[in-house]
Structure 1
Amino acid sequence: MGNIVKERKSRPVNLDIKTIRFPITAIASIMHRVAGVITFVSIAILLWLLSLSLSSPSGFETASAIVDSFFVKFVLWGILTALAYHIVGGIRHLMQDIGYFEELETGAKSAQVAFALTGVLSVLAGILVW
């Protein structure tokens, strides 16, 4: 075996977390995954609430009382918003899988459209919940 000489390449190292900026496409992809996890976890909550409401008339009253609180309405709004983003982001990813929005510029525009559409759907979800 010969002498192995390790060369140190001088390349910039950015260790300041405050200066690191993700592109909007990366943020959209990460948010799609987060929305999927929120949607998955919320299924248990929603199924429990449905089961309680269908168990008996008193169970329905209990479920109604639970849903009447501001905090639970806020959680339900968050669940609906996460579901809306996951659906919109999923459609965006499916479009990319068939060949659309693959370039950086069009991918960034489609991410902006996904965020804007989710904003509109979030407002509609808020109207529905409250």
Structure 2
Amino acid sequence: MSEVTVRKQRPKHLAINEIRLPLPGFVSILHRVSGAGLFLMLPFLLYLLDRSLGSAESFEVFSAVVSHPLAKLLLLGLLWAYLHHFCAGIRFLLLDMHKGVELQAARSSARIVLIVSLVLTVIIGVTLW
């Protein structure tokens, strides 16, 4: 008996820009990106901590670095990354405990994570600057 193999027509390349992710998948990817961003920015944050705690002169360097608009924008992005990573991490812990794994609950919790992280970023950002 001869076996007939049927080959599926698969794309030669994957067009990532055409894939439409559901909201929970988008939150998952943002969770990974924010974690990687926080890890990669750790040397910059440690530099800022060192400049702020060393002496009065080094605190002036810290103040000069942080007062620059680009640094403020970077720190605001880091604030969002931390808050999103924290909120999404809580969501994923709840999912690991089988809370909210139904489709509608997962979609609404993903929406809540995005909204809460953005609102907290705006509130804390306005308060700090």
**TM-score interval, normalised by the smaller of the two chains:** 0.7 to 0.9
CA RMSD of aligned residues (A): 2.4
Secondary structure at the aligned position of 1:5 is classed as: coil
Alignment of 1:64-75 (within 5 A): 64-75=63-74
Aligned residues, how many?
Answer: 129
Task: Verify: 1:101 aligned to 2:81, yes or no.
Answer: no
Letter in 2 for 1:35: S
Aligned identity (percent) is 39
Q: Which runs of 5+ in 2 are unaligned?
A: none
1:41 aligns to what? Answer: 40
- Measure the CA separation in 2 of the matches of 1:44 and 1:16: 35
- CA separation of 1:8/1:45 partners in 2, compared to 1, >3 Å: closer, same or farther? same
C-alpha distance in 2 between matches for 1:95 and 1:17: 29
The answer for the alignment partner of 2:19 in structure 1 is 20
Q: CA–CA distance in 2 between the matches of 1:91 and 1:117? A: 12
28 and 8 in structure 1: CA distance in 2 versus 1, 3 angstrom threshold: same
Could you tell me the TM-score, scaled by structure 1's length?
Answer: 0.87
For 2:82 and 2:10, the matched residues in 1 are separated by 42
Aligned twin of 1:88: 87
Question: Taking structure 2 as the reference length, what is the TM-score of the superposition?
Answer: 0.87
Which amino acid letter does the alignment assign opposite residue 109 of structure 1?
S
Q: Which residue of 2 aligns with 1:124?
A: 123
